[in-house]
């Protein structure tokens, strides 16, 4: 205990009930997604679905060249990338975006089944493949670290 307080001053001690510390919960920051598909209707549906499930859609692109530019400028965490694009296929776009090892997570999509592409998905540097009719936030999260 310290020295006595000067005359005329009282020492006040507060009783604080002991409560166990509550666990802090940190809300996950939404992952930023770029949607690349040449069909505007699919981009709209995918945006609505992913935003409803907690993702932040930061942009859209309709072809490979626009996808590469948008991925670099928008700092997306995830690129949802159609295999069939009008200028260059999604496999090549994925290779370009992952070539330096520091790019976004690439998830390839198509209306075709993933088994149709054999080893192309893995060889592209993509995290995986989701058929368009199976797209969901939960399914996408299974492919991410």
* Residue 27 token pair: 């809300």
- What pLDDT does 22 receive? 42
pLDDT in tens, 30-64: 799 999 999 999 999 999 999 999 999 999 999 99
- DSSP result, 82-128: ES--SSS-HHHHHHHHHTTS-SPEEEEEESS-GGGGTTHHHHTT-SE
- What pLDDT does 107 receive? 97
- What pLDDT does 16 receive? 44
All domains of the chain in start order, with CATH: 32-142 (3.40.50.2300)
The rounded distance, in Å, linking the Cα atoms of 81 and 102 is: 17
Q: Are 143 and 127 in contact (CB under 8 A)?
A: yes
Instruction: Please identify every stretch of the chain with a pLDDT value under 70, giving residue numbers as ranges.
Output: 1-28
- What pLDDT does 118 receive? 87
Beta-carbon neighbour count of residue 97 at 10 Å?
25
């Amino acid at each position: 205990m310290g020295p006595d307080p000067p005359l005329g001053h009282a020492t006040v001690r507060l009783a604080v009930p002991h409560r166990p510390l509550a666990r802090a919960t940190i809300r996950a920051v939404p992952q930023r997604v770029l949607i690349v598909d040449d069909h505007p209707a699919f981009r709209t549906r995918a945006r609505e679905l992913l935003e409803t499930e907690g993702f932040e859609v930061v942009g859209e692109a309709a072809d490979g060249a626009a996808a590469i530019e948008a991925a670099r400028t928008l700092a997306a965490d995830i690129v949802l990338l159609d295999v069939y694009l009008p200028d260059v296929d999604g496999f090549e776009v994925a290779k370009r975006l992952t070539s330096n090892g520091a790019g976004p997570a690439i998830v390839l999509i198509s209306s075709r089944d993933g088994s149709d592409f054999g080893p192309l998905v893995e060889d592209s540097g993509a995290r995986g493949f989701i058929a368009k009719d199976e797209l969901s936030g939960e399914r996408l999260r299974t492919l991410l670290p």
